[in-house]
Amino acid sequence: MFQRLAGLSLAVLMAGPGLAQQAADAVAPEAGTQGVTALSNPEIAAAYAARAAGQPVQAETWMVAAANPLAVSAGAEVLRNGGSAADAMIAVQVVLGLVEPQSSGLGGGAFLVWYDAASGELTTLDARETAPLAATPTLFQDETGEPLGFFDAVVGGRSVGTPGTPALLQEAHRRWGKARWPDLFQAGIALSEEGFAVSPRLAGLVESDAERLARRPQTAAYFLPDGSPVPAGAILRNPAYAATLRALATEGAAAFYSGAIAADIVRAVRDGQGNPGVLSETDLALYQVRERPPVCVSYRGHDVCGMGPPSSGALTVGQILGMLESYDLAALGPGSADAWRLIGDASRLAFADRGRYMADSDFVPMPTKGLLEQAYLAQRASLLAGDDALPEVAPGSPKWDHAQLLADDVSIELPSTSHISIVDGQGNVLSMTTTIENGFGSRLMVHGFLLNNELTDFSFRTHSDGVPIANRLEPGKRPRSSMSPTIVLKDGAPVLALGSSGGSRIIGHVAQSIIAWLDWGMNIQEAIALPHAINRFGTYDVEEGTEAEALKAPLEALGYEVSVRQLNSGLHAIAIADGLHGAADPRREGIALGK
């Protein structure tokens, strides 16, 4: 079915009027805005054109793919001047924090996967937010022990964890940087001071969240000037963010984790304007990025590698692919309901294990190896051998050294977040997913950036029927994530960098893109634009307004409950084979750009 949609028709179908408008903007920009300055760049116009045609952007030497053209442009400038992928990432992240402030920024956290061309080694860095040392496991419960409503928990200081992103920028630069650190902030500083054109997506999100944004004076003053949501195309300046970037450029991440910025973060969280949190200056001073062992699974002769705990990303993507390895998805093809039955039920089984076993392994013993052991995956895969949807799924019993009784998780995750993929001129590859959790995070704005609400990625309940939940909140612990920054290798060499936004649907977005690319032979732009069908907990979500809707009846006939809905991924990918092939998700505003 989906194969009929190759090329232009698929991209246009997925893009809808938003992309068509952006593509038009790229060739006929409105005069006088920063955003338009970048969109007038012929390279960027070419990137839009390639994406609209369902083709990857082609390059030979370096490439960057991310969620906003201004951020991509800043990263491309660094790479053009000989900077490393780590240098480019810093420039991209700094600009994303300005132009896409609802999704990621200095007030949040991230996971980074790095392939080092010189050594051939893979490194994963964990810059996840930590729970404050003064936080208690019942932080998100009311006085009767019942979980708070999601937004009652999110909005205010209560949900704010210690940010990790500034420390990650510094750590990545310390390990792999070539450019001068202060230079990497200049594009962000200039855009903050001169202003940038508010994108249609940002304007739409501000409008739909206006009531919550209006509750916090600093946040309201920025996003709702004169009391109304800032419209698309308006020029927004953020001098407070420029000052923060200048401090980081001059003093390094210490300017964030101590001194005036740290004190003001703590003040904002503890005041919390009706919903205070417990973050302290000690939490900020103690924050550290952690290097973790990469988690890899073998799939169709490739190694699919990513971020281990506290992310559930690589383990859950790995379990899905590991279970599907013994089924011939290529023969079934992307139009086959049976292929989607296999993918959907493999995903349900993996999510059952995720809910039971996955959390911050510094705090909770985890069967990390057992979850990806071949014999275990083969036993779980055998459950898929029938013809219909599994009537129910339950966690399995992987091998582990420190077995303990755990209850299933009940945490809530809504889609947000941003993904950056970069290949530099030396062949280093970076895949980084970055977030402040919910759109606009905690809605608290300090020094020109938003603070995260990452603590709501913990389970609000600590126990179920007296049995502890692995992802319960504990002081200093990192909340379980679904972020899945991934690098795929073939014979030890990188062939694909990718990742997505989308809350816990990230896992399905990444797994399905890999299947579309490896099993169904799509080019990487077609693979990430493929209409989504996602199953996590039983209900099959199929993407509204796309050919995936045609799966509704056959999936219902197999026994699934099907929900037709928007599925806003933010996939950004670079395939590496005879040059570089970049892809940007038509559901977002990003591009891929290379040379």
Q: Please report whether residue 126 would count as binding ligand GLY according to CB under 6 A.
A: no
The span from the CA of 498 to the CA of 360, in Å, is: 23
Site string for ligand GLY, 476-515 (x = CB under 6 A): -----xxx-------------------x------------
Q: Looking at beta carbons only, is 192 or 482 nearer to ligand GLY?
A: 482
Cβ pair 262, 287 in contact under 8 A:
no
Which range binds ligand GLY by CB under 6 A, 98-106, 192-200, 396-404, 475-483? 475-483
Exactly one of 171, 283, 424, 437 binds ligand GLY (CB under 6 A); that residue is: 437
Q: Which of residues 398-417 bind ligand GLY (CB under 6 A)?
A: 413, 417
Residue 360 interacts with ligand GLY (CB under 6 A)?
A: no
Tokens of 311: 């992310």
Question: What is the closest distance, in whole angstroms, from the C-beta atom of residue 270 to ligand GLY in the complex?
Answer: 23
Confirm or reject binding of residue 418 to ligand GLY (CB under 6 A).
no
- Give the nearest distance from C-beta 438 to ligand GLY in angstroms: 8
Residues 6+ apart with CB under 8 A from 338: 332, 387
Count the neighbouring beta carbons within 10 Å of the beta carbon of residue 552. Answer: 17
- The DSSP annotation for 224-266 comes to SGGGSPPPTT-EE--HHHHHHHHHHHHHTTHHHHSHHHHHHHH
If you write DSSP's letter for every residue of 326-344 in order, what string do you get? TS-HHHH-TT-HHHHHHHH
Nearer to ligand GLY, 167 or 337 (CB): 167
| Binder among 209, 457, 526, 543 for ligand GLY (CB under 6 A) | 457
The tokens describing 516, both together, are 């579309």
Contact between 102 and ligand GLY by CB under 6 A: the answer reads no
- Nearer of residues 34 and 347 to ligand GLY, judged by Cβ: 347
User: CA-based angle 234:238:239, to the nearest 5?
Assistant: 140
Instruction: Tell me whether residue 307 or residue 346 sits nearer to ligand GLY (CB atom).
Output: 307
What the block records as the tokens of 277 is: 């949190």
Contacts 24+ apart (CB under 8 A), 253-258: 253/166, 253/167, 253/169, 253/170, 256/106, 256/163, 256/166, 256/167, 256/284, 257/166, 257/167, 257/284, 257/285, 257/287, 258/284, 258/285
SS3 305: strand
**Known active-site residue 417:** yes
435 counts as binding ligand GLY under rule CB under 6 A: yes
Least distance to ligand GLY, CB of residue 452, Å = 8
Q: Which is nearer to ligand GLY, 23 or 127 (CB)?
A: 127
| Residue showing the smallest CB distance to ligand GLY in the complex | 481
Any contact of residue 434 with ligand GLY (CB under 6 A)? no
Phi, psi of 341 (to 5 degrees): -65, -45
Residue 33's CB: how many other CB atoms inside 10 A? Answer: 18
Beta-carbon contacts of residue 355 (< 8 Å; ≥ 6 apart): 395, 408, 409
Tell me how far, at minimum, the Cβ of 436 lies from ligand GLY, in Å.
8
Report the residue number, 246 or 509, with the smaller CB distance to ligand GLY: 509
Spot the catalytic one: 162, 368, 417, 456: 417
Strand, helix or coil at 192? helix
In the complex, minimum distance from the CB of residue 432 to ligand GLY, in angstroms, rounded to a whole number: 13
Using CB under 6 A as the binding rule, whether residue 159 contacts ligand GLY is answered as no
317 touching ligand GLY, by CB under 6 A: no
Report, in Å, the least distance between residue 398 CB and ligand GLY: 22
The residue count for binding ligand GLY (CB under 6 A) is 9
Question: Which residue do the tokens 């993507």 mark?
Answer: 317
Q: Is 424 in the site for ligand GLY (CB under 6 A)?
A: no
Q: Using CB under 6 A as the criterion, which residues of the chain lie in contact with ligand GLY when the complex forms?
A: 413, 417, 435, 437, 457, 481-483, 503
Q: Which residues are marked as active site? A: 417
